[in-house]
């Protein structure tokens, strides 16, 4: 599931960049929390239920997929700035350009 959500995040942010679509970019930003929570659940399950070597590999994979989503979020923030002149960081919007 984390693989599919990370891929969806990347595909959507690419589309938002290509089409200068700040609304789609905002959806990518909102989806990041879901992926973060899923990564945390995977980490907890791996640590509690797997042998150390396997758990480390599962944790590494989950973190890499989560990183894809984080990078997609960073790009989405840039798309919003390009399209609307707004800086979006940590759920806060800073407006610098007026439409």
The pLDDT of residue 98 is 54
CATH code, domain with 56: 1.20.58.220
What is the number of domains present in the chain? 1
The pLDDT of residue 26 is 95
Give me the mean pLDDT over the 56-70 stretch: 97
Confidence of residue 89 (pLDDT cuts 50, 70, 90): confident
Confidence of residue 77 (pLDDT cuts 50, 70, 90): very high
Task: Tell me the per-residue pLDDT of 7-59, one tens digit each, with 9 for 90 and over.
Answer: 999 999 999 999 999 999 999 999 999 999 999 999 999 999 999 999 999 99
- Range(s) of the domain holding residue 59: 2-95
Q: Are 30 and 8 in contact (CB under 8 A)?
A: no
DSSP assignments along 2-59, one per residue: HHHHHHHHHHHHHHHHHHT-HHHHHHHHHHHHHHHHHHHHHHHHHHHHS-HHHHHHHH
- Reported pTM: 0.86
């Amino acid at each position: 599931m984390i693989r599919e959500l990370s891929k969806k995040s990347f595909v959507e942010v690419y589309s938002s960049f290509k089409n200068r679509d700040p609304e789609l970019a905002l959806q990518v930003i909102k989806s990041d929390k879901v992926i973060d929570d899923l990564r945390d659940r995977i980490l907890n399950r791996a640590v509690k239920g797997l042998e150390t070597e396997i758990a480390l590999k599962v944790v590494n994979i989950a973190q890499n997929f989560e990183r894809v989503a984080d990078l997609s979020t960073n790009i989405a923030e840039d798309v919003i700035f390009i399209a609307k002149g707004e800086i979006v960081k940590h759920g806060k919007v800073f407006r610098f350009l007026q439409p």
